[in-house]
Amino acid sequence: MTLFEEVPVTTTDEIPVRRVEMRVNGETRAANIEPRLLLAHLLRNGLQLTGTHTGCDTTNCGACTVLFDGQPVKSCTVFAVQADGHDITTVEGLATASELHPIQEGFKDEHGLQCGFCTPGMMLSAKALLDENPNPTEDDVRWALSGNLCRCTGYQNIVKAVLWAAEKLRHDAPADAPADDGGEA
Amino acid sequence: MFPSRFDYKSPTSLEEAISLLSAHEDAKVLAGGQSLIPMMKLRFAAPAMLVDINNIPGLDQHGAQSDGSYRIGALVRHADLEKSKTLGDHQPTIAAAAPLVADPIVRTRGTFVGSVCHADPQGDWASCMVALDGSIVAQGPNGRRTIAVDEFVAGPFQTVLAADEIAVEAIIPPASGTRKGGYLKLERRVGDFATAGVALSLEMSGSTVAKAGIGLTGVGSATISATEAAAALVGSSLDDATVDAAAEAAAAATSPRSDHRGSADYKRHIVATFVRRLLAQHQPAEAKVA
Ligand SMILES: Cc1cc2nc3c(=O)[nH]c(=O)nc-3n(C[C@H](O)[C@H](O)[C@H](O)COP(=O)(O)OP(=O)(O)OC[C@H]3O[C@@H](n4cnc5c(N)ncnc54)[C@H](O)[C@@H]3O)c2cc1C
Ligand code: FES
Ligand code: FES
């Protein structure tokens, strides 16, 4: 041996990796991820579903809201690994190939957006509300959206958009459809 | 923002979770994650291992027990309490506070028990627990123990839980009489912590107060139990003089700081006003006239 011999780098820190499988907008998706990956980043960067926006990244604004088993969550504050085996709905899951969802139509018709940054989160909070309560009052809508911040609209038209969508959904629903009890245990 | 690297386990039984906590140094329990994940993202917390308790069955129930106590499991979310149709009949203080904790999205994940474990002096649930004389049941390798909330919280963001103990449920003891109460919180906007908050619990024997508890949020370096104010109520029928004395005593028990939420004087004033408002809801008609 000479005075110097280069050796291969070894590390004792093993990077933990988990395989996860979840349903995203009805499709099964699987990935190998580090546990510290946030759900918002898996959706945006991993699955290229960039409709989910990150506004504050500090759990305050609600722009990153997605549905986790039908309930709104801030995807910047849930680890992706926690979604293993669960159902995630993002804004991309609202429309079908040919038709906008009534909530999206409502935002269009009632001018419920300006810059659009808060809109995906607003629409998913609205969806969770309307799934549970198809006939909300204006106060119910304001209450359900109170965790979603909007810097542009002053909220007035967002509330109108959701009430518009509620009416459209009630109108579209077959009259004899059983009322959804919102899954109360 | 990304938290620093950690390993993750999601056990499906309490026993497995406890042995993971015992086996790993620097492991932390992950419940709703609505306090822990923001802290990890800011790197105020950097546990080496997270033990996620969300997949453990049986922890998501709350309800009145045959002995009159009320139990809230470790995975009962703020929203479960907010949406419950029966909670208000048994626990009016908790039912009044549930819609005022955080915002609707945080409430779908955050848990009652996790909030008490987080021991934030600004937390709304700790004040309810103090007013109601609640306890936490902790399970560790050697079984379970029940810890009264005033002993459980050791300081800001500190509890007496051992590293391998999990808080499995909160217990509110049975009422000696008819339970009444409420919670009032002043917040600058939805999702803000309290400028000031008051939790009131009354146990009534007819129109006489048999037992009372008052917990104060956000008006000191810890959750405050306003014991003198509560003692002033016992034996009374909530006449105006008693209500005034309790309001003054509650305000005197605070040590608020002037900050971006308001001046110390303002917060003290709010506490006295909230005590009066909460008690007014339970004053008999004739006491109000007197
Ligand atoms: C935007 C925002 C606004 C908020 N506003 C309010 C508010 O107005 N009032 C209020 O009271 N709170 C508020 N919170 C905090 C919220 O209520 C949290 O849900 C709560 O503080 C923690 O509960 P968690 O289940 O999310 O716990 P986690 O974040 O999962 O855990 C918090 C801590 O407790 C420990 N822990 C949790 N559960 C257990 C257990 N069963 N056994 C042992 N240790 C455990 C964890 O290890 C961690 O140290 C707010 C949070 C956010 C993000
Ligand atoms: S980006 Fe998640 S709450 Fe703002
Ligand atoms: S439309 Fe711009 S933030 Fe809401």
pLDDT tens readout for residues B224-264: 999 999 999 999 999 999 999 999 999 999 999 999 999 99
| Residue A154 and residue A106 share a domain | yes
Instruction: Determine, yes or no, domain membership for A178.
Output: no
Instruction: Determine, yes or no, domain membership for B234.
Output: yes
Which of A93, A128, A158 is the endpoint of a domain? A93
Average pLDDT over residues A108-132: 98
Question: Is A121 touching ligand 2 by the criterion CB < 6 Å?
Answer: no
- pLDDT value, residue B286: 63
Q: Which atom of ligand 3 is nearest to the CA of A122?
A: 4
Beta bridge partners of B72: B62, B170
Instruction: Determine, yes or no, domain membership for A11.
Output: no
Average pLDDT over residues A39-53: 97
Instruction: Determine, yes or no, domain membership for A181.
Output: no
Which of B124, B154, B172 is the endpoint of a domain? B172
| Residue A150 and residue A85 share a domain | no
Half-sphere exposure of B147 (CA within 13 A, CB side): 24
Tokens 């024997």 -> residue: B205
Which of A69, A93, A117 is the endpoint of a domain? A93
| Residue A78 and residue A133 share a domain | no
- pLDDT value, residue A68: 98
The answer, yes or no, to whether residue A184 has pLDDT greater than 60, is: no
- Cβ–Cβ of B1/A147 closer than 8 Å? no
| Residue A135 and residue A83 share a domain | no
- pLDDT value, residue A9: 73
| Residue A119 and residue A140 share a domain | yes
| Residue A115 and residue A84 share a domain | no
Q: Which atom of ligand 3 is nearest to the CA of A152?
A: 2
The answer, yes or no, to whether residue A52 has pLDDT greater than 90, is: yes
Question: Is A152 touching ligand 3 by the criterion CB < 6 Å?
Answer: yes
Mean pLDDT of chain B: 96
The answer, yes or no, to whether residue B56 has pLDDT greater than 60, is: yes
Which pLDDT tens digit goes with each residue over B76-129? 999 999 999 999 999 999 999 999 999 999 999 999 999 999 999 999 999 999
The answer, yes or no, to whether residue A179 has pLDDT greater than 60, is: no
- pLDDT value, residue A181: 47
Q: Is the dihedral of CA A33, A34, A39, A44 positive or negative?
A: negative
- Nearest chain A residue to B55 by CA: give it: A82
The CATH code of the domain that includes B166 is 3.30.465.10
The answer, yes or no, to whether residue A173 has pLDDT greater than 70, is: yes
| Residue A70 and residue A46 share a domain | yes
Q: Which ligand gives the minimal distance to the CA of A111?
A: 3
Residue type, B223: T
Average pLDDT over residues A165-180: 78
Please list the alpha-helical segments (H only) found in chain B: 14-23, 36-41, 78-83, 87-90, 92-97, 104-107, 112-118, 124-132, 149-152, 227-233, 240-252, 264-280, 285-289
| Residue A117 and residue A83 share a domain | no
Lowest mean pLDDT among A53-57, A96-100, B41-45, B195-199: A96-100
**Tokens linked to A127:** 């969806």
Which residues have C-beta within 8 Å of that of residue B217, sequence separation ≥ 6?
A: B122, B123, B124, B126, B127, B185, B194, B196, B197, B198, B199, B223
Instruction: Determine, yes or no, domain membership for A183.
Output: no
The answer, yes or no, to whether residue B289 has pLDDT greater than 90, is: no
Average pLDDT over residues B121-140: 97
| Residue B127 and residue B70 share a domain | yes
Chain B contact for A56 (CB, 8 A cutoff): no
Which pLDDT tens digit goes with each residue over A159-168? 999 999 999 9
The CATH code of the domain that includes A32 is 3.10.20.30
Candidate from A16, A68, A76 with C-beta closest to B7:
A16
Question: Among A123, A153, A155, A162, which residue has the most ligand 3 atoms within 8 Å of its CB, making it the best to mutate?
Answer: A153
| Residue B190 and residue B149 share a domain | no
The answer, yes or no, to whether residue B271 has pLDDT greater than 60, is: yes
Instruction: Determine, yes or no, domain membership for B57.
Output: no
- pLDDT value, residue B7: 96
Structural domain including A144 reads 102-172
Instruction: Determine, yes or no, domain membership for A6.
Output: no
Instruction: Determine, yes or no, domain membership for B290.
Output: no
The CATH code of the domain that includes A162 is 1.10.150.120
| Residue B117 and residue B84 share a domain | yes
Please count the structural domains in chain B.
3
The CATH code of the domain that includes B21 is 3.30.43.10
Question: Is A33 touching ligand 3 by the criterion CB < 6 Å?
Answer: no
CA of B99 to the centre of ligand 2 (A): 20
Which pLDDT tens digit goes with each residue over B141-153? 999 999 999 999 9
**Tokens linked to B43:** 């790197």
- Cβ–Cβ of B33/A15 closer than 8 Å? no
Chain B contact for A54 (CB, 8 A cutoff): no
The CATH code of the domain that includes B187 is 3.30.390.50
| Residue B26 and residue B120 share a domain | no
| Residue A106 and residue A87 share a domain | no
| Residue A162 and residue A120 share a domain | yes
| Residue A74 and residue A121 share a domain | no
Chain B contact for A45 (CB, 8 A cutoff): no
Q: Band the pLDDT of B284: cuts 50, 70, 90.
A: confident
Distance CA B244, CA B254 (A): 16
The answer, yes or no, to whether residue A100 has pLDDT greater than 60, is: yes
Instruction: Determine, yes or no, domain membership for A156.
Output: yes
Please count the structural domains in chain A.
2
- pLDDT value, residue B288: 55
Which pLDDT tens digit goes with each residue over B156-213? 999 999 999 999 999 999 999 999 999 999 999 999 999 999 999 999 999 999 999 9
| Residue B78 and residue B25 share a domain | no
| Residue A22 and residue A88 share a domain | yes
User: What's the gap in Å between the CA of A73 and the closest CA on chain B?
Assistant: 5
- pLDDT value, residue A15: 83
| Residue B156 and residue B242 share a domain | no
| Residue B67 and residue B47 share a domain | no
Structural domain including B278 reads 178-284
Distance CA A169, CA A173 (A): 6
Q: Band the pLDDT of A176: cuts 50, 70, 90.
A: low
Whole-prediction pTM: 0.94
- pLDDT value, residue A182: 44
